[in-house]
Amino acid sequence: MKVRLPKVSPILSGASKPCIVPPRRFCSTVFQNPRSSYSTDITSQLQRGVEATEAPAPAIPSPRWLSDMKARIGKCIIFGLNSEQTRVAGGVLRSLGEDWRDLVAGREGFLVDKKRAGMLRQQVVWGEQDSMSHVNNVTYVRWAESARINWAYNYALHADPEHKNEWCELWTPRGNGLILRSIRTDYKFPMTWPDHISVFHKLRSLPSPTDSHFVLDVMILSELHQRPAARCVEDIVVYDYLQGRKTAIIPFMMDAFLRTWEEQEKEKQRVTQQISMIEGIVGKLENESWNRPDAKEDMGGPKSK
């Protein structure tokens, strides 16, 4: 029987949660939330026969991967799952709801926890819209600029506190500073009020110690739609205000960038593995529900004896 899938609204949407959940650690059997006994229950369900088979993660990140995955699980639930399969599906949906920023941005190497993010759940206000009733294009550039300063300030506070004073000098004209040489913005969809945004920066490539500039990728996420609303590319120059000229990347910055690059690569690998596991679990649920050869939709009526 052909099953019509209704429009699935975001399940356990992170946009409705005021708190920021740190990234989960990846488990070889299933992703676990150490603060919840529910994830342990899901693990036991998998070990008792609903184990996942790994599937390759998409080579090119799809901006709609998260919503597509929820829709696939929704189709399985609508068709009918037994109790064990329902528990597994619930565990996957819980992970999608709590870790969605990791799954959307972390898969590209963005570090999304609150100690590295430029903005987390910044409110979009009504006055940021233009006459076309969507957020004005210039506003995205302002968000990227503000998030970049916060990104650098996070080095001073969290990533490299030993050089806090030096990092804090970078956005002043008193010595070595950072100057935006160029910015390119790609708009993905017209964002409207009300919404919240999260903005993340990452190194596009690891600069060399002799370089006088570095390039940052920027992702501006809509918390309501849980996908990128815009992407930016920023070219940043290290400038010596006292000498009035460009200068090489300062050694303490280079050391911090090296550590950041390693963290980005590890995060990309970790999230890719998590996505592969999710794909495997969902594929298993599909093959054991609506996609099996003898599949018969559960219409909710009394079972025949």
Higher pLDDT residue, 50 or 131?
A: 131
Question: Given a cut of 50, is residue 119 above it in pLDDT?
Answer: yes
Q: pLDDT tens-digit profile of 272-283?
A: 999 999 999 999
Q: pLDDT tens-digit profile of 282-299?
A: 999 999 999 998 887 766
- Quick one: three-class SS letters along 25-58? CCCCCCCCCCCCHHHHHHHHHHHCCCCCCCCCCC
| pLDDT given for residue 230 in this prediction | 97
User: Percentage helix, strand, coil, to 5, in the chain?
Assistant: 40, 20, 40
The share of the chain scoring above pLDDT 70, in percent, equals 77
pTM equals 0.78
| pLDDT given for residue 74 in this prediction | 96
Helix (H) / strand (E) containing 259: helix 251-287
Q: pLDDT tens-digit profile of 25-47?
A: 433 334 444 433 344 444 444 34
Q: What is the mean pLDDT of the chain?
A: 84
Q: pLDDT tens-digit profile of 194-227?
A: 999 999 999 999 999 999 999 999 999 999 999 9
Identify the architecture of domain 114-264 in CATH.
Roll (3.10)
| C-alpha distance from residue 140 to each of 110, 145, 205 (Å) | 18, 9, 23
Residue 223 is which amino acid? E
Burial of 15 from C-beta contacts in 10 A (0-12 / 13-18 / 19+) = middle
| pLDDT given for residue 99 in this prediction | 95
Contact status, residue 101 vs residue 198, Cβ threshold 8 Å: yes
Rounded to an integer, what distance in angstroms lies between the CA atom of residue 227 and that of residue 45? 31
| pLDDT given for residue 62 in this prediction | 80
| C-alpha distance from residue 38 to each of 12, 45, 51, 93, 205 (Å) | 15, 11, 16, 12, 39
Question: Given a cut of 90, is residue 18 above it in pLDDT?
Answer: no
Rounded to an integer, what distance in angstroms lies between the CA atom of residue 199 and that of residue 219? 6
Residue with tokens 């029987």: 1
Packing angle of the helix pair 37-47, 83-98 (nearest 10 deg):
130
33 Cα distance to chain centroid? 17
Rounded to an integer, what distance in angstroms lies between the CA atom of residue 289 and that of residue 85? 9
Range list of β-strands (E), the chain: 119-124, 176-187, 195-203, 213-222, 227-240, 245-246
| pLDDT given for residue 300 in this prediction | 65
| pLDDT given for residue 45 in this prediction | 42
| pLDDT given for residue 295 in this prediction | 80
Higher pLDDT residue, 255 or 302?
A: 255
Contact status, residue 15 vs residue 91, Cβ threshold 8 Å: no
Q: pLDDT tens-digit profile of 42-93?
A: 444 434 444 444 445 445 668 789 999 999 999 999 999 999 999 999 999 9
Question: Given a cut of 70, is residue 17 above it in pLDDT?
Answer: no
Domain with CATH 3.10.129.10 in the chain: 114-264
| pLDDT given for residue 208 in this prediction | 96
